[in-house]
Amino acid sequence: MPDFDTNPDLDADAHWVRQAQAGSMDALDALVRRHQTWVFNLALRMIWRRETAEDATQEILIKAVTKLSSFGNQSAFRTWLYRIAINHLLHVRKSEMEERRMTFTDMGTSLDGVQNVDLPDPRTLSVDVQHLVEEAKIGCMTAMLMCLDRRQRAAFILGEVFGETSAVGAEVMEESPDNFRQLLSRARRDLYQFMNGKCGLVNEINPCRCARKTTGFMRNGWLDPNHLQFTKDRIASVQDVAANRLAELEAIDRKHAELYRMQPFLAGPDFARHLREILSQSGFGAN
């Protein structure tokens, strides 16, 4: 399981950065391991498809390593790394969902088209049935994020899910704090309006229920019990590892935001090991 740090010590980051800039492979490995899990969880929520998110995370970390000599401690290392990550994720090749330009209206139509049926026989599954329902729920909620444009999606993930302040979010996205708050406000409003009108998790009068849609998701090929994307290698919930600064934002029903913060925080692959292999082959750190 890769390491991760919920409250990174800025002095420790600065120490590892100095050592890595001096050519220490061990320091670079430690630095990557402190932050790789955050980058992966950011990428997964931006991209939706786990395999693509893993590739994007590797590319982001390689970019960060190759640019490390330019880091001068003008900001926290994580903020600098997030800026590289967001810039990459805003310009990475569109996912299949984005290629279809799926709107909230399309999302609602797709959900309405999924038949409400009983859960499959647990004896036919390779995973616990409730685990499968959780996978269906998180996959559906992540698909809802894909209905936001990329900048709104990034603002929502940074500000609402990861709990970054508007000052940090603005620096990461290279926006003014006012513009960042506007992006976040529109994302929250659009997502809430859809979920309040469609999702039974947010508004109990809505008939849509994750357990009743799970089998239909499987039949449509949207959910594969043998290849879980959103619940595999859970190490915590987002709310356990990310700050809660929702009070900074204007009042609105928070239930939809809390649902995203309750989602799993995933370990992901050991990117540091793979990155070390790549850099070793390129001669990084050689005397």
89-129 pLDDT, tens digit per residue, is: 999 877 666 667 789 999 999 999 999 999 988 888 888 99
pLDDT of residue 72: 84
Task: Please give the Cα distance from 167 to 159 (Å, whole number).
Answer: 10
Higher pLDDT, 183 or 72: 183
Give the number of other Cβ atoms within 10 Å of residue 282's Cβ.
Answer: 10
Q: How far is residue 240 from each of residues 6, 7, 58, 165, measured CA to CA in Å?
A: 8, 11, 25, 17
Secondary structure element (H or E) that encloses residue 149, with its range: none
The encoded tokens of residue 16 equal 């590892």
Whether 191 shows a pLDDT value over 90: the answer reads: yes
pLDDT of residue 279: 79
Q: Quote the mean pLDDT of the chain.
A: 88
pLDDT of residue 258: 86
Mean per-residue pLDDT, 269-276: 88
Confidence band, pLDDT 50/70/90 cuts, at residue 5:
very low
3-state DSSP assignment of residue 264 = strand
Mean per-residue pLDDT, 131-148: 95
Q: Scanning the structure block, which residue is given the tokens 């609402």?
A: 160
Mean per-residue pLDDT, 29-56: 94
pLDDT 10s digits, 231-251 = 999 989 998 888 766 555 555
- Render the burial of 181-198: b for 16+ CB within 10 Å, e for the rest: bebbbbbbebbbebbeeb
Q: Shortest CA distance to 139 belongs to which of 206, 202, 47?
A: 47
The CA-CA-CA angle for residues 5, 131, 216, to 5°, reads 125
Percent of the chain with pLDDT over 90: 70
Residue boundaries of the structural domains of the chain: 10-282
- Find the DSSP H helices in the chain: 10-21, 25-47, 50-66, 77-91, 96-99, 104-112, 129-145, 150-155, 166-173, 177-198, 210-219, 238-241, 255-261, 271-282
pLDDT 10s digits, 254-266 = 678 889 999 999 9
